[in-house]
Amino acid sequence: MKKFGRSKAGAVDCNEDEADETGETDERAGTGTPNPGAVVDADGLRVDTETVLSAGIQDISNTLVEDFKLNDVLRIILETMYRAIGFRPVLLCIRDARSNTMQGRFGLGPDVPELARKFHFPLSFTPDIFHAAISKGADILISDVNDPKIADRIPGWFRDSVQTSTFVLLPLTIKQKPVALIYADKDHADEIVISERELSLLKTLRNQAVLAIKQAS
């Protein structure tokens, strides 16, 4: 039975305590110390994380009761996460039903178009952290991709394509089926630290993305 533990930040980490019948294992990656609640944006200005997240949620709530373009809503959600947490990139991946893969589409941050082209992985079983996230609908924070407890669950395509030590996965599921994935990272190990309140707001944004996809379909 696969088990996911919760870190102090409330995000789901992988924990190598048990293996399920498919042979998957989970391994803990620590999350560091509590977030001070503010980040420095691309312009060097301090940003209050909760304020930016809450404002973005309100904007999306107002948008969803009117006519809207799905991509516009999704871009606002990504931008809110990007500004609030200070991620290096934030990328939205969309399921390609014909090839049964998850494919990078668009996002914010340095070299995102190139990153989107490289982000392409199968939805069929693979014993790695991406499959764990999308198959279980689990929000996952990897604090250090080189931690011996988790390193063998970081897929080769990711290591070859992305130069980062820490990242977050927020899957979007409808009727227990993955339809999209939000990926975000920072440069250095243990650099992503998310408080319980911030995580709750991030989940609300993710759920708004799911609602927007449902309403648009």
pLDDT in tens, 155-178: 999 999 999 999 999 999 999 999
For range 71-99, the mean pLDDT = 97
- The band of 3, judged by pLDDT with boundaries at 50, 70 and 90, is very low
Q: Is-above-0.75 flag for pTM?
A: yes
pLDDT of 44:
54
pLDDT of 41:
54
For range 80-105, the mean pLDDT = 97
pLDDT tens for each residue of 111-145: 999 999 999 999 999 999 999 999 999 999 999 99
- The band of 91, judged by pLDDT with boundaries at 50, 70 and 90, is very high
More confidently predicted of 73 and 44? 73
User: For residue 74, what are the domain limits?
Assistant: 5-31+38-216
For range 14-23, the mean pLDDT = 35
pLDDT of 47:
76
More confidently predicted of 41 and 201? 201
pLDDT averaged over every residue in the chain: 84
Task: Name the least confident of 21-35, 71-85, 123-137, 141-155.
Answer: 21-35
- The band of 26, judged by pLDDT with boundaries at 50, 70 and 90, is very low
Is 208 a residue whose pLDDT tops 50? yes
pLDDT of 45:
57
pLDDT of 57:
98
pLDDT of 38:
56
Question: In total, how many domains does the chain have?
Answer: 1
For range 85-96, the mean pLDDT = 97
Domain at 68, CATH number: 3.30.450.40
pLDDT of 107:
98
Q: What secondary structure does DSSP assign to the chain, as a single string?
A: ----EE-TTS-EE-EEEEE-TT--EEE-----SPP-SEEE-TTS-EEEHHHHHHHHHHHHHHHHTS---HHHHHHHHHHHHHHHH--S-EEEEEEETTTTEEEEEEEESTTHHHHHHH-EEESS--SSHHHHHHHHT--EEES-TT-TTTGGGS-HHHHHH---SEEEEEEEEETTEEEEEEEEEESSTT-----HHHHHHHHHHHHHHHHHHHHH-
